Structure 1
Amino acid sequence: MTEKYDAMLDQMVKDYSLVTHGYSGEAPANPYPMFEYRRSQCPVMHGDLLQESRVPSMADYMMTGRPVVTLYRYDDIHSVLMNPNDWLSHIVADGFGAAVDNLLLTAMDGEEHKKYRKTLQKPFMRGQIRKLMDTLIRPVVVNEFVEQLRPKGRADLLREFALPFPIRAMYAYFGFPHDEDLLGNLASWAIQVVAAPQTDPEVAKVTIPKSMVAGQSMLETLMPIVQEYRARGEMRNDILGYMMTTEHEGDSFSDEEIANFIRMLLLAAGETTTRSFANMIVQLLENPQVMEEVRQDRSLVPKAVTETMRRDPTAGAVARIAARDMEIGGVIIPEGTAVLCSIASANRDPEVYENPDRLWLKRPMRPLLSFGFGPHMCMGMHMAMTEMEVALEEILQLPNLRLDPDYRKPEIRGLNMRGPDALHVIWDTD
């Protein structure tokens, strides 16, 4: 590992930690007992769960005083996410949209969203992504990370694996040149944009201007990459190649439009996969009998991904806003009121999941809400899940993988953007 690469990882950890701290606030690291109580006592609650704990809330990122109702039950949340006509998504852009010129697919509504998603989703569909499993993702995971770690016998898997590998794989699929400085800069800028919303006004005075600079730096870095790609004239089977050869409503995308779209994708290119993978490994290490099940039967790897994402999702909440007066669970939600949907609570709703706290790989699954659901389901879901499957398969090749007793046990925390601060593990090298 070069000093430059080491410094890049240090910066990525620093930026990642800023997000973790910001989205933890004053909430307990384990919020599930609180969710259990509220699901039974006030499943449709007037007030904002996240703001209560001084966590930035997409229901009212800028703390304008918008009325907010928090939902805790699976069926209520599922019904909201499946109804984009009455529950709008534009408030998603309130927090960090300005840093990317408010170009966020997740914040589009109606026909605009339908048309853009139809145009852009092809390279992210499951069939396309599964083709990359052994041609792109596994070579990156094995050759650039796992084989480098194997002789060491110990690592902080968050710093040395979970943070860099999804970014490296995704950037390769974008069509970017393999350059450590490029990878590190874009990754850090993307996380700085995500870290912009803060409930502490003094911290926000730093993070919001920093996010604006980061967003502009991303665009200025991406534009020459896009221009050089087009100038070569070699349209490869990657995202840049797709965007240069496809049309949206009869028009080709300009270089600036492509750079803006790629910048939007970068905000989720690594952060969600990093946290979801780290959360999965923590849960498996805490349940060694389940980890052994997966080790002995690799067909359970996809189940391990979905079940750990159900049991402790990275994206703990999403928000929508009422387009008209609505009713949920007998409670009137006036037009213009935001609903904060507690995905983490819904994922442990005992009305939907038997013994919901248990990590059970053969659990009968309902539609997973951890990537959202309905028309706004995360477009990068299949990439993230495939990356996690490959990563788990290969990490399990490290013999006798276990927590490092020289460090504190990792703790998953945060009401949103949940994840551990570090993941120190050891394995046998003989």
Structure 2
Amino acid sequence: MNPTATTEGARDGAGPARAEDLAAALLTQEARRDPYPFYARMRREDPVHRSAQGIWYLTRYSDVEAALGDLRLSNDRDRMTRAYTALGGDLKALSRLTDRLGRVMSNTDPPDHARLRKLANRAFTARRVESLRDRVQGIVDGLIDEAVAAGPTMDLVEAVASPLPMAVVCELFGIPDEDLPQVKTWFRRFGRLSEDIDASEAAIEQYEEYLARLVRRRRADPGDDLISALVATQAKDDRLTDSELLSTCFVLITAGDETTTHLVGNGMLALLRHPAQLARLRADPALARPAVEELARYDTPTQAIVRVVAEDLTIGGRTLREGELAYLFLAATNRDPERFHDPDRLDLTRPGNRPLSFGNGPHFCLGGPLAKLQAEVAVGTLVRRLPHLRLTDEAALDWRPNPLQRRLTALPVTY
């Protein structure tokens, strides 16, 4: 399918393709390489689109921003499971994983969500995140040193973007350095849940047992790490169960890994493809912080998030019925010309830049500030320390086959 030809056809009066093609198009190889022309077409032709499978696709900034704050669109695990089951989905892997995790804040609605979020907010403060800046800088410098010593080329994702968040989260949670290889192994197995359920479940069980031991140690001997802070918060709130505490630790440690990796990877690719913007950042290192906001807008790792309709509601003149699924395409909203001037242009000094890359409303990504801090340090340091950084093979770039995520398999560069 050629999105340019389709768009031109619509302009010439030929009319859009069949409605179901709008959703199906996102699964094509062409959309995997570049989904943004497809999002533009969806916003223009049917911004509140119901697919042939009965799933809603929302692509306008105003609609998605409102939807993210609307409690009639639920993130509840049980509702989500029923909705997928009604569509005939095979939820064996998903249900076994969510049974392990329990009812954590990322798959609950108010009032449980508010109670669990309050727990995490008390421990995961802006001050605590900012206090990690020097440590993040040291980790990034060490990773770059290792990559440079290894030779004139590297896979930037493997060498810097992937190991960075794991090292940082272990620092934040007080996970000993000697345990890092084992934690990485567990994380890799989580990612293969759909391929090998038994191996993934075994990894989850082992990881939970490991976290439970850490929690017991922090109760006996508190430190200055996030697990100790969560344990202290639980002691002040007897409504928080041990299971909820453990699940909160699990989610907070696990959730930011892939997002941070691909915020750095996607962001560096965008800069390497836009040498004028790269030169601008290199000339003014103070641009690193706003640059990350723009890089997250331009090519966000989380392309869409899923909600289930808990109560009938109307969006954009369409009625979404209870029990239906809605995909909120954050990446599409971030290129909405009604919200962003010249949205397909990368502009590190874009004024009034408020993308929805980390969501909005009650489920706004708790780890967003930490992900942004890591990306700010990593991108700024790579640009400063490697002045001749460039892509080695544009044609070799490939993306993982998941339309809800935008993640490079590798980023080959020379320096």
1:334 shift after superposition: 1.3
Contact 2:302-2:357 within 8 A present in 1 as well: yes
Unmatched 5+ residue regions in structure 1?
Answer: 1-22, 49-64, 197-203
Number of aligned pairs?
373
Matched, 1:246 2:214: no
Contact 2:293-2:353 within 8 A present in 1 as well: no
Amino acid at match of 1:170: V
Matched, 1:168 2:172: no
What is the distance in 2 between the residues matched to 1:426 and 1:226?
43
Contact 1:272-1:314 within 8 A present in 2 as well: yes
The residue aligned with 1:148 is 146
Amino acid at match of 1:393: G
Q: For 1:372-400, what per-residue CA distance to the aligned partner results, in whole angstroms no more than 9, with x for missing partners?
A: 11110011111110011111122123332
Q: For 1:75-101, what per-residue CA distance to the aligned partner results, in whole angstroms no more than 9, with x for missing partners?
A: 000000012x21111149747463233
Matched, 1:227 2:213: no
Give matches, 1:252-267, under 5 Å. Answer: 257-267=244-254
**TM-score, normalised relative to structure 1:** 0.80
Contact 1:404-1:424 within 8 A present in 2 as well: yes
What is the distance in 2 between the residues matched to 1:118 and 1:403?
44
Give matches, 1:39-50, under 5 Å. Answer: 39-47=43-51
Matched, 1:325 2:323: no
SS across alignment from 2:127: helix
1:241 shift after superposition: 1.4
The residue aligned with 2:411 is 423
What is the distance in 2 between the residues matched to 1:265 and 1:35?
30
What is the distance in 1 between the residues matched to 2:198 and 2:190?
10
The residue aligned with 1:113 is 113
Larger relative helix fraction:
2
Compared CA separation, residues 399 and 138, structure 1 to 2 (3 A): closer
1:353 shift after superposition: 0.7
The residue aligned with 1:87 is 73
1:158 shift after superposition: 0.9
Compared CA separation, residues 405 and 87, structure 1 to 2 (3 A): closer
Amino acid at match of 2:119: T
1:25 shift after superposition: 6.9
SS across alignment from 2:131: helix
Amino acid at match of 1:353: F
What is the distance in 1 between the residues matched to 2:412 and 2:264?
14
State which drifts further: 330-339 or 168-177: 330-339
What is the distance in 1 between the residues matched to 2:197 and 2:258?
19
After superposition, the CA RMSD in angstroms is: 2.5
The residue aligned with 2:332 is 345
What is the distance in 2 between the residues matched to 1:102 and 1:340?
23
Amino acid at match of 1:319: V
Contact 2:105-2:116 within 8 A present in 1 as well: yes
Amino acid at match of 2:198: P
Q: For 1:1-22, what per-residue CA distance to the aligned partner results, in whole angstroms no more than 9, with x for missing partners?
A: xxxxxxxxxxxxxxxxxxxxxx
SS across alignment from 2:56: strand
Contact 2:75-2:106 within 8 A present in 1 as well: yes
Contact 1:32-1:345 within 8 A present in 2 as well: yes
The residue aligned with 2:56 is 69
The residue aligned with 2:177 is 178
Amino acid at match of 2:76: H
State which drifts further: 247-256 or 274-283: 247-256
What is the distance in 2 between the residues matched to 1:407 and 1:41?
32
Matched, 1:127 2:127: yes
1:150 shift after superposition: 3.3
Q: 1:387 aligns with which of 353, 374, 390?
A: 374
Over the matched positions of the two proteins, sequence identity in percent amounts to 27
Contact 2:103-2:244 within 8 A present in 1 as well: no
What is the distance in 2 between the residues matched to 1:249 and 1:395?
43
What is the distance in 1 between the residues matched to 2:230 and 2:239?
8
1:364 shift after superposition: 2.1
What is the distance in 1 between the residues matched to 2:319 and 2:27?
30
1:325 shift after superposition: 1.3
What is the distance in 2 between the residues matched to 1:327 and 1:273?
34
Matched, 1:211 2:215: no
SS across alignment from 1:269: helix
The residue aligned with 1:34 is 38
Contact 2:156-2:410 within 8 A present in 1 as well: yes
1:335 shift after superposition: 1.6
State which drifts further: 322-331 or 120-129: 120-129
Contact 2:218-2:231 within 8 A present in 1 as well: no
Q: For 1:45-65, what per-residue CA distance to the aligned partner results, in whole angstroms no more than 9, with x for missing partners?
A: 1127xxxxxxxxxxxxxxxx7
Contact 2:105-2:112 within 8 A present in 1 as well: no
What is the distance in 2 between the residues matched to 1:194 and 1:229?
28
What is the distance in 2 between the residues matched to 1:249 and 1:112?
17
**TM-score, normalised relative to structure 2:** 0.83
